[in-house]
Amino acid sequence: MNPSPVRLRLEIAYDGTAYQGWQTQKVGTGVQSVVETALRILFPGAGPLHGCSRTDTGVHARSLVAHVDVPPAEWRMPARKLVLALNAHLPEDVRLISARRAAPHFHARFHTAGKQYRYFIWNHPALHPLHRHHAWHVTRPLDVPAMKEAARHLVGRHDFAAFTVNPGYARTSTIRTITRCEVQRRGSAITVIIEGDGFLYRMCRSIVGTLAQVGMGKIDAGSLPDQIASRDRRESGMTAPALGLVLWSVRYQPGRPASESAEPDPTDGE
């Protein structure tokens, strides 16, 4: 009998500008394969890397959690040393932030309890050069109080079919719970914080695009409940561009990292 592999829980950050998202596509490179390539320099027998989400082309991550199995015979360092060791083999736009051993059944995707995304808008006639790769440039002054009002309607357990590009892609259900949806302004920087138990394809960007159009006066803040009820993508607003979106943090149920009871959602992704 083979000894059980060492399962590692990795926290990865990246600037998504140069990548076709997390998963490698037919064209272009995904962050996943960049990290897998680096891992196999250290651990030739490493298995595939499983990420908590599939971020879209151009989306960034502050903290994406992934797991990987390493053959025990190749595992010779304390997990914390992996940060320096792996980063030496990664491009500077991808970084391993932390590494630790996980329970043998921990699954980075199926065991998530919640995620937080942040979306950055630069609301000024000129886009600040230091934010040009990580913020959506909206020149027209946005009505932030109206955006805040609209955001409140999104909080709760709803069918978000009207806020995903292809609801049929969600093979299970389009019902999700948004636990926090906040709009903050600080000078020209507007941040939208969205937290929930799971997200449909392009859901965050559809929400932010809709909120921005509320801020532009093109959509009435009070119409959000009707948009949700419609379950029709044509009823909600535009899709905000990828470059402003950051997967900010991922939450796992405390003490249940290895639980098999969490509902797997193979469609989750932004």
The CA distance from 114 to 52, in Å, is 10
Q: At what angle do helices 203-215 and 144-154 cross, to 10 degrees?
A: 140
Which one among 14, 43, 110, 163 touches a copy of itself, defined by CB under 8 A? 14
Contacts of 101-105 spanning 24+ positions with Cβ under 8 A:
101/6, 101/7, 101/8, 101/9, 102/7, 102/8, 102/9, 102/67, 102/257, 103/7, 103/257, 103/258, 104/4, 104/5, 104/7, 104/258, 105/258, 105/260
Q: Does 132 bind a copy of itself (CB under 8 A)?
A: yes
The CA distance from 72 to 83, in Å, is 18
Q: Does 19 bind a copy of itself (CB under 8 A)?
A: no
**Identity of the residue numbered 235:** E
Stretch that binds a copy of itself, among 67-75, 126-134, 177-185, 217-225 (CB under 8 A): 126-134
Q: What angle do CA 71, 74, 75 make, to 5 degrees?
A: 90
Q: Catalytic residue among 56, 69, 197, 265, which?
A: 56
Q: Please, what is the minimum distance in Å from the beta carbon of residue 250 to a copy of itself?
A: 16
Q: Does 231 bind a copy of itself (CB under 8 A)?
A: no
Stretch that binds a copy of itself, among 88-96, 141-149, 195-203, 248-256 (CB under 8 A): 88-96
Q: Does 100 bind a copy of itself (CB under 8 A)?
A: no
Which one among 128, 140, 152, 218 touches a copy of itself, defined by CB under 8 A? 128
Which one among 93, 159, 182, 235 touches a copy of itself, defined by CB under 8 A? 93
Q: Does 251 bind a copy of itself (CB under 8 A)?
A: no
Residue among 22 and 160 whose Cβ is closer to a copy of itself: 22
Residue among 86 and 221 whose Cβ is closer to a copy of itself: 86
Task: Write down how long the chain is.
Answer: 270
Q: Please, what is the minimum distance in Å from the beta carbon of residue 83 to a copy of itself?
A: 5
DSSP line for 109-154: TTTEEEEEEEEEEEESSS--GGGTTSSEEE-SPP-HHHHHHHHHHH
Which one among 9, 54, 60, 205 touches a copy of itself, defined by CB under 8 A? 60
Please count the other Cβ atoms lying within 10 Å of the Cβ belonging to residue 249.
17
The CA distance from 28 to 165, in Å, is 22
Residue among 97 and 155 whose Cβ is closer to a copy of itself: 97
**C-beta of residue 124 within 8 angstroms of C-beta of residue 131:** no
Residue among 85 and 165 whose Cβ is closer to a copy of itself: 85
Q: Please, what is the minimum distance in Å from the beta carbon of residue 80 to a copy of itself?
A: 8
Please count the other Cβ atoms lying within 10 Å of the Cβ belonging to residue 234.
7
Stretch that binds a copy of itself, among 9-17, 193-201, 228-236, 260-268 (CB under 8 A): 9-17
Q: Is 226 one of the catalytic residues?
A: no
- Interface residues toward a copy of itself, by CB under 8 A: 13-15, 60, 62, 83-84, 87, 92-97, 124-130, 132, 134, 246
Q: Which residues participate in catalysis according to the annotation?
A: 56
